[in-house]
Copies of this chain bind each other. A is one copy, B any other.
Amino acid sequence: MEKAAKNYKALSVGDIKALGRVTLNSALGLTGAEVSINELPAGVGVPFVHAHKRNEEVYVILEGKGRFFVDGDIFSVEPGSAIRVDPAGERSLKADGESPLRYLCIQTEANSLAQFTENDGIMTESKPAW
């Protein structure tokens, strides 16, 4: 499935429960975020610790269990864990031994969001024919 028109682009990244790493920014033409879906095989960690210059990251754990590292702290993560890391945070992540760790990572410019839905959303008169 791939479909696009003036104000949108849609595609399928494949089976979200079986895929490896997929990044969406180029594929979807994103202008406000890099969104990636990532998998670490059982027992495997990201092979480096990294920080950022300008970007904030949000991690959302979808499947599996693991450990998250920030600035020397280590804590357990599982499906439903959500973690914000500021640009300066030195971060890494490792899957536990039993199963792969699947997670979503969203990268945005820190302090870039001017307003949320309450003020940014606009109701329209359209009615979908479904």
State the A residues within 8 Å of B (CB). 1, 3, 5-17, 19, 24-25, 27-35, 37, 45, 48-56, 58, 60-62, 67-86, 88-92, 94, 104, 106-117, 119-130
Contacts and interface: CB of A to CB of B under 8 A. Distances in A.
Contact of A79 (B16, B67, B128): B16
Contact of A75 (B3, B62, B73, B108): B3
Contact of A70 (B8, B16, B17): B8
Contacts of A115: 53-55
A70 B113 contact: no
Given A3-B75, A90-B126, A122-B50, A31 B113 contact: yes
